[in-house]
Amino acid sequence: MEKKKKKKYRGFWLFFKIQLVLFILLAGAGIYYFAGGYANEVRLLKEDADTLTARANSETFRKGETGLVYDAHGDLLKEYKGEKDSYYIEYQDIPEIVEDIFVSVEDRKFYNHKGVDYLAIIRAVLAMLQNGEVTQGGSTITQQLARTVFLTTDRTWQRKMEEIFIARNLEDKFSKSQIIEFYVNNIYFGNGYYGIQAAAQGYFSKSIDKLNLSQTAFLCAIPNNPSIFDPLKHKKNTLKRRDLILDGLYDQGMISKDAAEQAKDKKIKLKRKKGTEKNNYVETFINHCAIRALMKARGFVFQHYFDSEKEEKAYRKEYSRLHEECEASLYSSGYRIYTSIQLNQQEKLQDALDVGLSDFTEVSGEGIYKLQGAGVTIDNTTGYVTAVVGGRTQEYEGYTLNRAYQSFRQPGSAIKPLLVYTPILERGYTPDTVVVDEPIPDGPANADGSYAGAMTMREAVNASKNTIAWKLLDQITPIAGLQYLKAMDFSQLSPEDERLPIALGGFTIGTSPLEMAAGYAALQNDGCYREPTCIIKIEDTQGNLIYTSEPEETGEEEGTRIYKSNAARMMTDMLQTVLVNGTGTGLGLGDMPAAGKTGTTDDNKDGWFVGYTRYYTTSIWVGYDQPQTLPGLMGSTYPGNIWHNYMMSIHEKRTPMGFVPYIEQKEVVTD
């Protein structure tokens, strides 16, 4: 009996202490609030919230602005259509299970609060005090609606406070059923779909009331994080969350156990609405670049390398949050997006790739050509991407992988100029420096199995000698070589790459055609790197500038200095020789001066050709999505021929223009 009393009093005192701590925290917050002068700021936030909601009506939640995208010539390229109005669904037409799912998953107290769950807010405040930032939302369905329609997802106390004021006002102005209606019609389901009806039509080509329980739960899994639960890119993630939703419905007595299990066992087969398949490589690349531009406009700094797992985890979390927000705004904010895409070049690059690989007709189980290719063109005057092809032309349902920037493959010898030769030229070597081609114990062999002895570095580049590249990288060290690639935003480098095989393109993951094109464009641009994007500027519906990538006219060099100018010019001079009597013999462009390099990986699994003129840089990759040997695949065969035919076509009417010559310098090579 005595023990029970002690336990009872112990529980009471524990409860009392918790309440006391909460009181002290709230009291302290109140003192800080007034003493710190925040009262006026909160008052202004309240006034702003009142203004926003005062003019809100049912139409506020129906319309989405149509965004416009223009090509390099100012012609309309595509539209981001606001689909809210055309796919808007009234409350009485919303299946009951949809409402049940969102209430059970997002806001179980929805019908009992006035827009704000204050206990959840307190938990979020405590978490903020503990972590030093807002880590928990504590947001009700009404708050989420307020944020989606009226605000951004910035994790600041000001945004949170205004969200609360708006949510309270919405609850006073609209009924619970109206708020549910607004909510399911405005939340983002990824890939440009706002509202559950648009998502049902987009992913299943059916109205929401025609979907079964499994499909409905699958759709409702997406809005929690449209990037992570994107059914086109991460279907397994979506299915896993669908199952959690079904388990939650069963636990709350909304569906039976049998219904939950049967729904989990059903296979989800997407059937995208005709015309919505993401088969356009230009569109997917524009989306990619535009989202990055909007993220930059909001102050986000991209990075690929981290000092700790904690730093990387925090970065990934913030990246995912902001990427989701910017992707959503892309489809609803009515932006005017001006790009550098030249459709005539795009068509020619696509045609060159299709014709160059037309003999290979074998397809995978999904009906996709097994042998693939990709290419990217950069305007060397501006640094902008003008054409991007992520694969062969083909009609099929589903998401199209844009291999131009989403695939990373071993670059073979095409990496040597960026990683080895230009860096060594900065250290006193010249094209005439004598190097020795000889066997290396535990080192690589040359592609032809022979060794030529003493030769100039120009000759070594010409013949793509593996032994020379290996020894030179050993001299400057792999770590030093990798710094050049990291400075040019090569995104898939790892600590495991700090080894000599990278001299020959032996990376853990690899590089993309976009990265290779940008690297070679830096050589042509006197050693200065420019981020490869197709977005020139973004304006809002009123013509106000949201983002621009156009450099300011300061008289300074364009881009980030990567290589010394003379080293880049010497490298270009040597790469010109490659097209005259080296591994790229026969791939020259007639009277148009050009420079380039072949790349072939072990067992002929990947073939590359990257080259440039004063006008354009183009990189071409050919290989299988699942790496396998292709007899006859070398940088000089399929990739080289595609590059040659395409570059000839886009230079057809251009005046030949030579490269800037390098300045002869005295060698300062030391052993």
Active site residues: 106, 413
Please, what sign has the CA dihedral across residues 483, 486, 488, 490?
A: positive
Q: How far apart are CA 667 and CA 671, in angstroms?
A: 12
Evaluate whether 516 touches 650 at the Cβ level (below 8 Å): no
Report how far Cα 585 is from the mean position of its chain's Cα atoms: 37
* Residue matched to tokens 């009404």: 142
Q: How far apart are CA 594 and CA 604, in angstroms?
A: 25
Report which of 390, 660, 416, 637 is spatially closest to residue 525, judged by C-alpha positions: 660
Q: How far apart are CA 570 and CA 563, in angstroms?
A: 11
- Integer-rounded Cα Rg, in Å, for the chain is 29
Report which of 184, 28, 14, 172 is spatially closest to residue 92, judged by C-alpha positions: 184
Evaluate whether 365 touches 359 at the Cβ level (below 8 Å): no
Q: How far apart are CA 315 and CA 298, in angstroms?
A: 15
Report how far Cα 134 is from the mean position of its chain's Cα atoms: 25
* Residue matched to tokens 């790739």: 353
Q: Fill in the DSSP letter of residue 419.
A: I
Report which of 526, 529, 421, 509 is spatially closest to residue 468, judged by C-alpha positions: 421
In terms of phi and psi (left: phi > 0; alpha: psi -120 to 50; beta: otherwise), the region of 377 is: beta
Contacts of 655 (CB under 8 A, 6+ apart): none
Q: How far apart are CA 33 and CA 37, in angstroms?
A: 6
Distances (CA, A) of 373 to 193, 419, 620, 642, 644: 30, 24, 7, 10, 15
Evaluate whether 161 touches 172 at the Cβ level (below 8 Å): no
Q: How far apart are CA 17 and CA 10, in angstroms?
A: 11
> In which order are the strands placed within the sheet that holds 545-548?
76-80, 67-70, 336-339, 535-539, 545-548
- E-state strands within 92-151: none
Q: How far apart are CA 310 and CA 522, in angstroms?
A: 33
652's tokens = 């057809």
* Residue matched to tokens 């989701």: 324
Contacts of 671 (CB under 8 A, 6+ apart): none
Q: Residue 612 pairs with which residues in a beta bridge?
A: 595, 617
- 336-339 and 67-70 beta bridge pairing: parallel
Q: How far apart are the first and last CA of the chain?
A: 88
CB burial of 400-411 (b: ≥16 within 10 Å; e: otherwise) equals: bbbbbbbbbbbb
